[in-house]
Each structure stands twice: as C-alpha cells, then as structure tokens.
Amino acid sequence: MRQIPPDYTKEDIEADHLQDQYTLMFGILGRRILGELGTDGEQALREAVRRYGADRGLRDRQKHLEAGCKINMYSAFNCGAGLPGNKRTHSIRFQSVPEVHTSQVLTCPMAEIWDRYDCFDIGRIYCEEFHFAYYNTYAFGKAKVNLATTLTERGTEYCSFHVLLNPADLSEEEKARCFEEYDEKPEEADLSQFQRISAQEGYRFLYLRLYYYMAVTLQEYLGEQGKETLIHGLHELAGVVRDYIREEEQTPDLCYLENNYPAKMDTSQDPNWMVYQEGSARELLQTEFCDRLMKELQI
C-alpha cells in the first residue's frame, strides 16, 4: 500500500484512485489495441480520442453559452472545470486571458501511471490527440493549440500549453460570442450554474465517454477483429485493476468500488449510458470487465 501524505483526506485518496483507474483504462486497452492491431489499431485509437475530445469540448461550450460565459481561453481554463483539483498535479500559470492561455504542468499523475504500467507511448497518443480536439471544438474550430512538450515524452520536465484564440480568425457572430468588446449588449455570466461535482460523478462520466468512443471506433474501423481485441483488453484490464485494488484495500466491497472506481459495476444503473447507446460498448464493459472484476475480487 502506498504512503498517504499527511494532508490527505479520504476524498483526496478516492480522487487519486478514480483518476488512476481512468488513466489505466485508456493505457491498458490502448496497449492491447496497438499490440494486436498495429497501425490500423493506432488509427482507430487516435480517432477515438479525437471524438472524445470533441464531445467534451462541445458539451463544455454549450454549458458556458447557457451560463452566459464568453467562449474563449479564459473561460475554457477557468470556468466550471467540473472536477476537483488533484493534489498530485502541480502547474505554473503564466497567462490566462480571453485571447490566450499559457501554462506549464510540472507533475502529471496520468503520465506517471502510464509509465509505471508500461503504457507510456499510449499516453503520448492521448496527449497528442485530446487537447487539440477539445480546444478546437470548444472554440468553434478556431483555436491554435501549441503543446510544445508533454510529460509523456522522455526527457521532458513539464507539459507546455499555449492555446490561442485570435479575434481576427473569427466571424463577426463568433467574435460577439467569444469577446465582450465585440458584443453590443454583453451580459454578466451566471457562474452559480457551475456547481462543483464529486470526483466520483466527474470521473464516472469521463471514463464512460472515453471507453465508449474507444469501443465504438474500434469496431467501426475493424469490425469483429476490433471487437475481439476490445474483449482481450477488457480481460487484461480486469486483472490489472484487481491487483491495483488489492494493493490499496485487502477486502474491497461494493461500497469501496462505488467510491474508488469510476465505472458502476452494474452499468445499467448509470443513467449516462442513455446518451451513449451505439453498438455493444456498455454490454461488453458489463460482461467482459465488470462481472469479471467482481468475480476476481469475490464481491
């Protein structure tokens, strides 16, 4: 069992577990996809991450518009992130204004997990594809994303973010939506709409969507072969998760999983699946991972 810092609360520990398991799901499944399917699998994996990033960017843009926020780089990085901060992540913010956000991330627990579980190159795919898809979709396809270095590259000391939204690249309608100075009747944003959610709720929705796009895209690109590889990956993931949980909790029960794993073991009880119903993604997660994990943990 790992050493717990003295300033950690029970909620901090659970948030770490949830983030680790979200990260592991992508790493283990992605490693299996590339290992069995090669370049075809990599193409499907990259497309899945792009779809996931676009989904999140579109949803966040809609939430910001409904709250009266301007769609710009300040809003993207500061308004209603939806997840509590993680004490393991340390960053320096140099600039965060409507036109540009510049920062460095000095420690990344996701990169550390991918490295520990031999998924480092898979994590690099996530970094290369997610951020571009997210910020461009969020900003009407007009953001310029410079991710010069990431901690999923060997020998780097930080992730370097420079995300720009230039008014000159926008239509007149988009300028009014993005910047107050171009809006004839700007309204004050209602930030009260952004209620802080629990780590469980936040990571559950992130996990579901990332897994969903991986499952759907893999089968769309590679048919039955993709489905077989997904099943192999889910079986491997169940073993990895079992061992991770055993290191943290000797006798886990369903309550422990509810607080420390970002997918409900009974997927039919997660209403978020109502929006993501294409194909067999949920059914495969249930039968090939959740049921298997519960059996291996003897719950």
Q: What's the pLDDT score for residue 79? A: 87
Cβ neighbours, 10 Å, residue 34: 20
The model's pLDDT over 212-230, given as tens digits with 9 standing for 90+, comes to 999 999 999 999 999 999 9
d(CA 191, CA 179): 17
Check if the beta carbon of residue 82 is closer than 8 Å to that of residue 197. Answer: yes
Q: What's the pLDDT at 8?
A: 87
Identify the pLDDT of residue 82.
59
Matching residue, tokens 């901060």: 85
DSSP-derived letter for residue 277 is: -
Residue 270, amino acid: D
Question: d(Cα 140, Cα 79) in Å, to the nearest integer?
Answer: 17
Cβ(226)–Cβ(280) under 8 Å? Answer: no
The pLDDT score that the predictor gives to residue 80 is: 75
Write out residues in the chain with pLDDT < 70, as ranges: 1-3, 81-85
Give me the DSSP letters along 222-267: HHHHHHHHHHHHHHHHHHHHHHHHHHH-SS--HHHHHHH-SS-SSG
Position 81 scores a pLDDT of 59
Overall pTM surpassing 0.85 (yes/no): yes
Q: Where are the domains of the chain?
A: 10-29+198-296, 51-184
Per-residue pLDDT at 6: 80
pLDDT, one tens digit per residue, over 159-206 is 999 999 999 999 999 999 999 999 998 888 888 878 778 999 999 999
Closest to 289 (Cα-Cα) out of 244, 229, 239, 248: 239
For residues 278, 284, 290, 294, the Cα torsion angle rounded to the nearest 10 degrees is 150
